[in-house]
Amino acid sequence: MQIYLPIAELSVNLFLIFGMGGAVGFLSGMFGVGGGFLMTPLLIFTGIPPAVAVGTEASQIVASSVSGAIAHWRRRGIDLKLGMVLLIGGVIGSVAGIWLFRLFRALGQIDLVISLSYVTFLGVVGALMMLESIRAIARAQHGKPPIIRRPGQHMWVHGLPFKMRFKISGIYVSAIPVIGIGVVVGLLAAIMGVGGGFVMVPALIYILRVPTNVVIGTSLFQVVMITALVTVLHATANQTVDMILAMILMAGGVIGAQFGARAGQKLKGEQLRALLALMVLGVCTRLAVGLVAKPDELFSLNLGSVAP
């Protein structure tokens, strides 16, 4: 069954897009990630223009993250002060990212920039995740306890100025790294169409030593706010948000996430991280091959209509 996407300006198979949403939703429920870093490349693989894939996926992340943020808010699992400082950096990064997006699009290089960003970022993240999961599996096989990162341990960031006290998180750190993390996440959301939670969560835990029970809710709060801003900016400045495509993906994602959450309970943490790392590296490899492979046609000619 074909359905026309007005912003993407092409027809796609409804069941294929719904199935993609369900598959990524399944992975999101299994691994506890937003799935944007997988969905955007998949949309590109199916022929969706990269600019539309980025803008549309940002809108889908808003919807998929709201329910989780509300649940953590009710359990008082959100450090609102920390989230607001992260949001300051996120707004700066988002505006800068949208400006860069428009610049590269005007130069006709936005597709290349998006692909290179994914290849670089997914390659680094996937490799680090794979190394960490291999070490964890090896420690488990030898009967050694996992390495525990305790809140409150001091690092180089604790020597920076402009310190602030975040009572809910129980930390006293400089605002500089907090804003910096927000800027990075904002840039990723604008250029790559991802929520950035898979960057923010490790950064809050390992750099700022935020307790895990506060990290997820605070990250979701930031993701909702930033992706909502990015969606509005993409829709107004770039006209790259296809809501029909977004709604189909949302419907499939909601259903898939329920099954993924159940499946994830049957695997160990290090096994989940290893599988996720393999998928991340697989997507990275597929994008890299697309960048260097010789196309079927070296040249293409697009004749637009000329007004009389």
The packing angle between helices 36-45 and 110-141, to 10°, is 130
Q: If you average pLDDT over residues 158-184, what whole number do you get? A: 81
**Would you place residue 151 in the very low, low, confident or very high pLDDT band (cuts 50, 70, 90)?**
very low
Q: What is the pLDDT at residue 156?
A: 61
Q: If you average pLDDT over residues 69-90, what whole number do you get? A: 80
What percentage of the chain exceeds 90 in pLDDT?
1
Instruction: Using the predicted structure, report yes or no on whether residue 124 has a pLDDT greater than 70.
Output: yes
Strand-pair category, 10-13 with 163-166: unpaired
The residue among 193, 217, 220, 256 whose CA lies nearest residue 26 is 256
Q: Is 11 left (phi over 0), alpha (psi -120 to 50) or beta?
A: beta
Q: If you average pLDDT over residues 241-264, what whole number do you get? A: 76
Higher pLDDT, 233 or 205: 233
The residue among 67, 63, 59 whose CA lies nearest residue 43 is 59
User: Could you give the count of Cα atoms lying within 13 Å of 85 in the half-sphere of its Cβ?
Assistant: 19
Three-state SS at 61: helix
Instruction: Using the predicted structure, report yes or no on whether residue 81 has a pLDDT greater than 50.
Output: yes
Query: Burial letters for 60-86: b for 16+ Cβ neighbours within 10 Å, e otherwise?
Result: bbbbbbeebbeebeeeebbbeebbebb
Give ∠ CA 206-210-212 in degrees, rounded to 5. Answer: 90
Task: Tell me the pLDDT tens digit for each residue of 24-56.
Answer: 777 666 655 556 677 788 888 888 888 888 888
Mean residue pLDDT of the chain comes to 75
Q: Are 252 and 83 in contact (CB under 8 A)?
A: no
Three-state SS at 11: strand
Q: Are 201 and 216 in contact (CB under 8 A)?
A: yes
Q: What is the pLDDT at residue 92?
A: 92
Q: What is the pLDDT at residue 198?
A: 67
Higher pLDDT, 248 or 58: 248
The residue among 209, 230, 208 whose CA lies nearest residue 87 is 230
Q: If you average pLDDT over residues 101-125, what whole number do you get? A: 82
Q: What is the pLDDT at residue 303?
A: 46
Q: What is the pLDDT at residue 154?
A: 52
Paired tokens of 23: 């598959």
Query: What is the DSSP code (8-state) at residue 146?
Result: P
Higher pLDDT, 141 or 42: 42
Instruction: Using the predicted structure, report yes or no on whether residue 146 has a pLDDT greater than 70.
Output: no
Instruction: Using the predicted structure, report yes or no on whether residue 246 has a pLDDT greater than 80.
Output: yes
**CA 209/CA 262 separation, integer angstroms:** 29
Q: If you average pLDDT over residues 295-305, what whole number do you get? A: 51
Q: If you average pLDDT over residues 76-101, what whole number do you get? A: 86
Instruction: Using the predicted structure, report yes or no on whether residue 85 has a pLDDT greater than 80.
Output: yes
Higher pLDDT, 272 or 187: 187
Q: What is the pLDDT at residue 305?
A: 41
Q: What is the pLDDT at residue 271?
A: 62
Q: If you average pLDDT over residues 277-298, what whole number do you get? A: 71
Instruction: Using the predicted structure, report yes or no on whether residue 264 has a pLDDT greater than 60.
Output: no
